[in-house]
Structure 1
Amino acid sequence: MSVNPQSETKSQKSESSSFSDLNKKLDQEEQLAGLAPEIQAKFDEFEQLAEESKHNKTLWDRILLDTGFKVSFKNKLHMTYMLAAFASIGGMLSGADQSLISGATVFLEDDFHLTSHEQSLISSLVPIGAIAGAIMLSPLNQLFGRRFSIMISCVAYTIGGIICAAAQTVHQLYTGRFFIGIGIGLESIIPAYVSECSPRDIRGNLTSLFQFNIALGEVFGYAIAAMFYDLKGAWRYILGSSLFFSTLLLTGMFFLPESPRYLVVIQKKTGAAYRIWKTLRNMDDLDNKLEFLELVESTRFTEQSGSHDTRKHLWMDFFTVPRARRSIIYAFIMIFLGQFTGVNAVMYYMSTLMASIGFNTKNSVFMSLVGGGSLLLGTIPAILWMDKCGRRFWCNFCLPGFFVGLIFLGVSYQVPITAPAAKGLYLTGVILYMGFFGSYSTATWVVPTEVFPNYLRSYGMTVSSGGLFLWSFVITYNFNDMFDKFTKTGLTLGFYGGIAVLGFIYQIMFVVETKGKTLEELDDVFSMPTKKLIALNLKSTKKDFECIAHGRFKEVAQGTHIYY
């Protein structure tokens, strides 16, 4: 059924809004007293649907929902933790690829006598393949769901890894790298999958695990490259080791459930969704019941408001519906800022960059661990405090931090390569840049998973993921030419640093706080006109500066002054 939320009637909006407002205003005792009969009737219906869903299954249902092993915990939060931890292992696929190819490149140049163009193509074919994977993401997610799509991504990644490890020609390497890219593009639905399954108060922390695993994969990749450095044909072992990560993720997915939000919104299987919801939430907590009810009710309102609409292409709402249009622009710019500050190019060419400041070939591979380790350590504060501080504070705090790192990098290239200060300035810059970017990059995964309407989330993740890999390709493929033509200082400090400064100004004005709200409640925030959001953000920023001037830093860090 096609839907068009723009046509929602005032009475329906009022009913939905009053339902949401009531949840916020009443404490749990009042909710139980005032809403218990109405809520109980709804949940009696859900229980009946859940029971029916156990027996009335099509073959397709059995393949998609029952392929695997059922796991449950007495403490339901532990199930959510397990889901986030296992699914986020997918980040290791992307992270390991960046660092493994960085270490393998120094051997591939000699074995295949690569030209500069061929070296760039080997690195940049992964983001090209990832764009293809991202394009496939929406139809696969609509048809197979989040869980099965992630499993398909593992298969594509495994095929690519085998081809790369066994390659005899550079064209076989191209093919393997492209398949790896498809796998990485498809698995970019993982943050949305985790976000849809996580409670609102820890959603940011758990979704941040994906970026943590990207950084962890990069560290593993550099360590693996260093481990196999002295072996003959080392690059085959380096590239072949990536199969461990895809096998680990594929195994883990057999123990995880489908996203309840996908089942309600896309498949209209409320009973099956409620059975899974009860494995993820403590149903003695009224908030968890109300969250599921809000999901079902908001989906019903959306369907009713668009019942007359015959359009087949829902993604057109990104152009025609203001709420959807704001979300896609918002997510796309967040992705752009993350990529055009150069981090993927720095990661892909870390060993080469280390060699450019005077490290020999072997030490350049080992020293690459400095960048990977800094990125990993930088993600840890975000995992711990993303939901306490909020997305807006996190973005505005981190961008200036890695701009300072870019200053050190730019200055290091002005010091003679033989001087010890060159290495000292460069490594200081790498540590600051990668550390602060590690924290910032968590938001570039968390925010896009939160801002899209439920019925458009897979389409939104296709666009934002496709944009991420497109910008990654542009930056990575052109890195060598930009490095030469901009000069080293011009590229790091002028281009990447300039984007960081512009990004900071944008974020002050446009970045919306999403912490503490359900994915359904965020519809109200993004339904505000853009001018109003800017005005509220500037009002919040002004209040934050007043608090800083008076030493009330805790209020700023906790996002106390958010006015929507």
Structure 2
Amino acid sequence: MFGLDVGVISGAQQFLQKDFGVSDDTLGWIVSTMMMGAAVGAVVAGWLSSQLGRKRTLILGAVLFVAGSVLCGCAWTTEVLIVGRVVLGLAIGIASFTAPLYLAEIAPESIRGAMISLYQLMITIGILLAFLSDTAFSYSGNWRWMLGVIAIPGALFLFGVAFLPESPRWLMMKSRHAEAEQVLQKLVGNRDAVAREIGEIREQLKTPQRGWHMFLQNRNFRRSVWLGVLLQVMQQLTGMNVVMYYAPRIFQDMGYATAAQMWFTAVVGLVNVLATFIAIGLVDKLGRKPILYIGFVVMTIGLGVVGTMMHLGIHDHGQQIFTVAMLLVFIVGFAMSAGPLIWALCAEIQPLKGRDFGIGCSTFTNWVANSLVGYSFLPLLNGIGQAETFWLYAAFNAVFILFTFWLVPETKGVTLEQIERKLMAGLPLRQIGQ
């Protein structure tokens, strides 16, 4: 659902823009307001998941997914469409906080890492499915079905979540120990393993979250929070979500007709999915920093060449294909590096007592930066030009190579406790890992 709602707007833009007669500025608002809603959703999700429980919070997110999709599909004015996008944003913000938290608490230790990696993969698959759905509806130009059909998987999500068990960790937090034991018995099956898990949860709960107090009092914790914020800003300024939200417009500027724009957009989604497997396969072998270096270099080259081709002019089919290929090179660079690894690093660098606060700050930053990038792309295109806009994002990626060297620690093979000790001892950020 997260991926579907992020991806679906790209194919609908040109058709709803024609129907409503909206300007590029208004279109930017339609695109970006969902991310504003997601920022709010991410902020309130921590309180909701603590008070209502992980399962009920996911049910609320599913209800909002369905309601927002129906509202967008039935929108009779741009204002109603924007409200529907905000509702979808709230759903995404709630899901983006609660789903990984629930997975981490419900999955057996032996498959916990794979489950969270699969969550990231499913986002990219959702984006691909949205692009394919948009392509199918583009032949009729029916943007209402493009946006409204997402209510069907939303209803399936709501139905599925209703049968999930509650998080045993949350049940223990609420002193519902017998229910927690019953859930763990279903999940694990082995009585000894259940007893061990309950003991570990009890030990964890002895460490209360004191994030805001730590942020005010502890300089070293503030460093990890600000690094998490910076990492999320870096991820958004790579330009990836610009391509996700405006791919058909970009292909239009390369000289492609509507049908080709939509199919190439679907190819972007497919490459995004496949390249994510590179990160999953290499992150624990090469390490975080080498993969980030490779990714930022690849993204700099990809966007730099795309900008240069647009500056020189794309005059024949061979030049069109080459420009598309370089855009796909950029997609590979992001999906194998900054896409999944930034999220992993933001969780790894935060000390235990402030982890919820630190991750909450970085998640909120992600959505605010996402919204600003989504809104500013069309004004940049119309203001400084196509080539210059792509060169700007290429320059950001080049600068991020230096930021990675100066500030980012290598956390491969290092326990969270070791990272915390080095952080709190005042070591430079890039030295708190290996």
The TM-score with structure 2 as length reference comes to 0.89
1:267 is aligned with what amino acid?
K
Given the alignment, which residue of 219, 231, 235 partners 1:338?
Answer: 235
Q: Measure, in 1, the Cα distance between the counterparts of 2:109 and 2:409.
A: 16
Q: Structure 1 residue 230 and structure 2 residue 139: aligned? A: yes
The offset of 1:115, in angstroms, is 1.3
Q: Deviations over 1:421-454 (max 9, x none)?
A: 4312321122111112112211223333444455
Q: Which runs of 4+ in 1 moved over 6 A?
A: 288-291
Q: Measure, in 1, the Cα distance between the counterparts of 2:196 and 2:405.
A: 33
The offset of 1:535, in angstroms, is 4.1
2:288 is aligned with what amino acid?
R
1:136 is aligned with what amino acid?
V
Q: Measure, in 1, the Cα distance between the counterparts of 2:151 and 2:246.
A: 22
Q: Structure 1 residue 492 and structure 2 residue 400: aligned? A: no
Match of 2:124 in 1: 215
Given the alignment, which residue of 110, 131, 137 partners 2:39?
Answer: 131
Cα distance change on mapping 1:461 and 1:218 into 2, 3 Å: same
Q: Measure, in 2, the Cα distance between the counterparts of 1:395 and 1:289.
A: 40
Given the alignment, which residue of 370, 391, 395 partners 1:472?
Answer: 370
Q: Structure 1 residue 150 and structure 2 residue 58: aligned? A: yes
Given the alignment, which residue of 243, 257, 262 partners 1:360?
Answer: 257
Match of 1:416 in 2: 313
Match of 2:86 in 1: 178
Given the alignment, which residue of 442, 447, 450 partners 2:340?
Answer: 442
The offset of 1:184, in angstroms, is 0.8
Contact 1:99 1:218 in 2 (8 A): yes
The offset of 1:205, in angstroms, is 3.6
Q: Measure, in 2, the Cα distance between the counterparts of 1:108 and 1:503.
A: 36
Cα distance change on mapping 1:370 and 1:535 into 2, 3 Å: same
The offset of 1:506, in angstroms, is 2.3
Cα distance change on mapping 1:281 and 1:386 into 2, 3 Å: farther
Match of 1:534 in 2: 430
The offset of 1:200, in angstroms, is 5.9
CA RMSD of aligned residues (A): 2.9
Q: Measure, in 2, the Cα distance between the counterparts of 1:515 and 1:276.
A: 32
Given the alignment, which residue of 300, 323, 326 partners 1:403?
Answer: 300
The offset of 1:277, in angstroms, is 4.3
Contact 1:206 1:383 in 2 (8 A): no
Contact 2:2 2:95 in 1 (8 A): no
Please list, as runs of the form range in 1=range in 2, the aligned pairs for 1:230-269 lying within 5 A after superposition.
230-231=139-140, 234-264=142-172, 266-267=173-174, 269=176
Match of 1:319 in 2: 216
1:483 is aligned with what amino acid?
L
Q: Measure, in 2, the Cα distance between the counterparts of 1:200 and 1:323.
A: 30
2:236 is aligned with what amino acid?
Q
Match of 2:269 in 1: 372
Q: Measure, in 1, the Cα distance between the counterparts of 2:397 and 2:195.
A: 42
Mean CA deviation greater in 496-505 or 428-437: 496-505
Q: Measure, in 2, the Cα distance between the counterparts of 1:512 and 1:262.
A: 31
Q: Measure, in 1, the Cα distance between the counterparts of 2:269 and 2:423.
A: 36
Unmatched 5+ stretches in structure 1: 1-92, 307-312, 538-561
Cα distance change on mapping 1:390 and 1:277 into 2, 3 Å: farther
Given the alignment, which residue of 502, 517, 529 partners 2:399?
Answer: 502
Contact 2:168 2:181 in 1 (8 A): yes
Q: Deviations over 1:63-88 (max 9, x none)?
A: xxxxxxxxxxxxxxxxxxxxxxxxxx
Match of 1:164 in 2: 72
The structure carrying a bigger helix percent of its residues is 2
1:478 is paired with a residue of what secondary structure? helix
Unmatched 5+ stretches in structure 2: none
Match of 1:20 in 2: none
1:255 is paired with a residue of what secondary structure? coil
Mean CA deviation greater in 439-448 or 106-115: 439-448
Q: Measure, in 1, the Cα distance between the counterparts of 2:355 and 2:170.
A: 9
Aligned positions, number:
432
Match of 1:96 in 2: 4
Q: Measure, in 1, the Cα distance between the counterparts of 2:190 and 2:286.
A: 28
Q: Measure, in 1, the Cα distance between the counterparts of 2:384 and 2:181.
A: 56
Match of 1:115 in 2: 23
The offset of 1:219, in angstroms, is 1.2
Cα distance change on mapping 1:516 and 1:278 into 2, 3 Å: farther
Mean CA deviation greater in 379-388 or 275-284: 275-284
The offset of 1:472, in angstroms, is 0.8
Q: Measure, in 2, the Cα distance between the counterparts of 1:334 and 1:279.
A: 38
1:534 is aligned with what amino acid?
R
1:359 is aligned with what amino acid?
Y
The offset of 1:395, in angstroms, is 2.7
Q: Deviations over 1:286-326 (max 9, x none)?
A: 8x9767645533542x35xx9xxxxxx85332332356434
1:414 is paired with a residue of what secondary structure? helix
The offset of 1:153, in angstroms, is 1.1
Cα distance change on mapping 1:405 and 1:191 into 2, 3 Å: farther
The offset of 1:123, in angstroms, is 0.7
Q: Measure, in 1, the Cα distance between the counterparts of 2:412 and 2:105.
A: 14
Contact 2:139 2:259 in 1 (8 A): no
Cα distance change on mapping 1:195 and 1:111 into 2, 3 Å: same
Cα distance change on mapping 1:298 and 1:105 into 2, 3 Å: closer
* Percentage of identical aligned residues: 27
Cα distance change on mapping 1:192 and 1:271 into 2, 3 Å: same
Contact 2:422 2:432 in 1 (8 A): no
The offset of 1:163, in angstroms, is 0.6
Cα distance change on mapping 1:337 and 1:158 into 2, 3 Å: same
Q: Measure, in 2, the Cα distance between the counterparts of 1:168 and 1:341.
A: 35
Contact 1:207 1:445 in 2 (8 A): no
Please list, as runs of the form range in 1=range in 2, the aligned pairs for 1:380-395 lying within 5 A after superposition.
380-395=277-292
The offset of 1:268, in angstroms, is 5.1
1:94 is aligned with what amino acid?
F
Contact 2:211 2:356 in 1 (8 A): no
Contact 2:185 2:191 in 1 (8 A): no
The TM-score with structure 1 as length reference comes to 0.70
